[in-house]
């Protein structure tokens, strides 16, 4: 099994590489210290599974997932992160990731996730399920796929006209979406929205 590890921390890369080589039979691991470094050599047949961190400089894990999906919609992708919240999870699963593991969890969970994804199963741990269920039980208004897309454009400093043109919708529709987004997140300004998006890797 050809596995790629993407993380900007050398110590984490070394540790994960050793854990995978020890825990996954017949595995071949290649490490990358940035999202761009794997994109530079990537082809659809390069790796069976790509494991990426989310919080990285220059290009986040979320952005990497988007670019990988453009190159190969069937690429198996496992995301690692220190931080977990319903918005982040929704954003990632909207991108069709194959699994999510918190970095603070046990080694066994990482190996379990890799094996599940290799067997063409999506890996959602009990911890992740609990977060999503609690979010639903609290009736939290999570952003829709289209609203997430608009937030991403706002982070890129695009105005309503530019967003409307990019999404092939009217300016009035964009304004309505932005109003609904702020209402759902209990915010008043675009600055608050941008800070929130960056904090939750909605980029």
- Same-domain status, 37 and 99: yes
Number of domains in the chain: 2
- Same-domain status, 170 and 190: yes
Cα separation values, 134 from 31, 54, 122, 183, 191, Å: 35, 23, 20, 20, 28
- For the cut 60, the answer to whether the pLDDT of residue 140 exceeds it is no
- CATH number of the domain residue 23 falls in: 3.40.50.2300
pTM of the model: 0.70
Read off the pLDDT of residues 22-40 as tens digits, 9 standing for 90 and up.
Answer: 999 899 999 999 999 999 9
Residue 112: per-residue pLDDT: 92
Identify the band that residue 139 occupies on the pLDDT scale cut at 50, 70 and 90: very low
Read off the pLDDT of residues 63-114 as tens digits, 9 standing for 90 and up.
Answer: 899 899 999 999 999 998 877 777 778 778 878 899 998 877 767 889 999 9
By residue range, what is the domain housing residue 83?
2-137
Cα–Cα distance, 52 to 66 (Å, whole number) = 12
């Amino acid at each position: 099994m050809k596995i790629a590890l993407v993380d900007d921390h050398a110590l984490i890369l070394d540790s994960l590489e050793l854990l995978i080589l020890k825990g996954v039979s017949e595995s071949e691991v290649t490490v990358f210290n940035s999202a761009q470094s794997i994109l530079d050599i990537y082809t659809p047949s390069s790796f069976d599974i790509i494991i990426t961190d989310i919080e990285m400089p220059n290009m986040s894990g979320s952005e990497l997932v988007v670019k990988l999906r453009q190159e190969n919609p069937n690429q198996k992708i496992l995301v690692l992160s220190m931080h977990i919240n319903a918005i982040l999870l929704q954003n990632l699963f909207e991108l069709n990731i194959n699994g999510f593991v918190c970095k603070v969890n046990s080694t066994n969970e990482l190996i379990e996730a890799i094996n599940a994804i290799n067997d063409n199963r999506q890996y959602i741990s009990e911890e992740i399920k609990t977060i999503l269920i609690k979010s639903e039980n609290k009736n939290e208004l999570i952003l829709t796929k289209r609203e997430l897309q608009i937030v991403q454009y706002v982070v890129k400093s695009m105005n309503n006209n530019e967003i409307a043109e990019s999404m092939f919708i009217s300016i009035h529709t964009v304004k309505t979406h932005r109003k609904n987004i702020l209402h759902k997140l209990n915010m008043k300004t675009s600055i608050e929205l941008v800070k929130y998006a960056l904090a939750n890797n909605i980029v």
